[in-house]
Amino acid sequence: MELVSRNRCFGGEQAVYKHASEACGVDMTFAVFLPPQAKSRSVPALWYLSGLTCTHDNAMTKGGFQQFAAEYGVALIFPDTSPRGEAVPDNDSYDLGVGAGFYLNATQDPWRSHFQMYDYVVCELRSLVQDAFPISERHGITGHSMGGHGALTIAMRNPGLFASLSAFSPIVNPCQSDWGRKQFSAYLGDDESTWAQYDATVLMSETGWHGDILIDQGADDQFIDLLRPQAFAEATALRRQPCVLRTHVGYDHSYFFVSTFAKDHMCWHADRLNGN
């Protein structure tokens, strides 16, 4: 790994690294916050998956998670949202290509050579941070918008890897949304049966989750019709899945919303990761 930057932060350390990724075939950048407790022992980790157009930097600088991660003794992992570089295919649209990896493994050209974000997050980056940093095997996962979609689907497909789960304004039913159908047809092809493994509402109906889930949604979110929170709420009710789904009047889709409820999510994960 190449160290890109390192900053003192709430008694801990916020660092950014670059490494050559076998999964994505290019150099990838990610950020890690280590709380002060990591100086003397291994600590649990919370993964934060970002949304469309974002990089590792957005939540790292605007989410406001480090203060509470330091208080609760939890590391933070901020992956990028897609591969990047001259060799990586792209699209003129903001919601396809670079910055819009959707945390899946693409099977169609020209995307499949680099857009393997599911394997990157679940296998490659997890193994790398587990080996390189004082992080225990207790991991939680959260995310915003496209990243909330990634957090929910990755956790439900890998229940043994994650002990806690939450999301901010997640895309929960992409198979029935323009934030999903467009990208899935490009990345995965026209066979819609292959899409279901990346749809949180479908996965909830079929497999559910071994624990409880926290989801926060802004009532004034300008993209709420694309997110389809009602579909996921119906699926959790039918499955009798423990899920706290809170809707907040006046809040939109921005990082002002995310940072407002960052402490709630950090506390939620810390309770479950620390065994409280």
* Residue positions annotated with a catalytic role: 145, 221, 253
CB 72 within 8 A of CB 47: no
Six-digit token string for 4: 């890109």
| Alpha carbon of residue 124 to chain centroid | 15
Scanning the structure block, which residue is given the tokens 């499949």? Answer: 112
Whole-number Å distance between alpha carbons of 269 and 157:
19
What is d(CA 184, CA 80) in angstroms, rounded to the nearest whole number?
Answer: 19
Parallel/antiparallel/unpaired status of strands 243-248 and 213-218: parallel
* Whole-number Å distance between alpha carbons of 167 and 274: 19
Phi, psi of 101 (to 5 degrees): -75, -15
CA distance 227 to 170: 6
| 250 touches 199 (CB < 8 A) | no
